[in-house]
Amino acid sequence: MRSLALLLQYIFTETKMKKATLLLGLIFQMFSGISLYAPDLPKSLKKVRPAETFSLRETPRRIITPDSNAGGNAVFVLLFDNPAADIVTQAKIYDLNGSEVADFTDITGTGSNPTRLVWDGRDRSGSIVRSGVYIYQVQAGNSLTNGTIVVAR
């Protein structure tokens, strides 16, 4: 704490405003973990490149509460980019024992549109699964994507 007090004293007695601003920014970064100074990115990184293969577009909400009024948490939704119009050959849900629980119930999308996969938290017989952790696995073309889902009831 003493070094922080000395640093603050230096900042407020500094006559050059640019240095004081820089030091305040560094102190902010030190305590918050957020940098106010972003380096210039190369021009090649500034452009958003479209997906070239079947790939997950965004990280989904991983906790669902099936058959509830919990807003957007009643179903699990995956959005994929699918520029090569790869056919989804597998879209399954497994429990932690590796047993198949269900298939994704809604598979939509073709061509450059994202493929949308939906699971409503039900097993193949239509019953809501027990609370716990489940694994999803989606295969299209040569791409295989895995992840986890938490079902809370």
Residue-level pLDDT at 104 = 86
DSSP assignment, residue 73? G
Burial of 60 (0-12, 13-18, 19+ CB in 10 A): middle
CATH topology for the 55-151 domain: Immunoglobulin-like (2.60.40)
Q: Where are the domains of the chain?
A: 2-32, 55-151
Residue-level pLDDT at 7 = 53
Residue-level pLDDT at 70 = 61
pLDDT tens string, the chain, 153 residues long: the values are 455 555 555 555 544 555 556 556 656 556 555 555 555 555 554 555 666 777 777 767 889 999 777 666 888 888 888 777 777 788 899 999 999 999 987 677 654 565 788 899 999 999 999 999 999 998 887 888 899 999 997
pLDDT digits (tens, 9 = 90+) for 80-98: 887 777 777 888 999 999 9
Contacts of 52 (CB under 8 A, 6+ apart): 83
How many angstroms separate the Cα of 144 from the Cα of each of 41, 90, 96, 117, 137?
31, 9, 18, 14, 7
Residue recorded with tokens 């058959």: 67
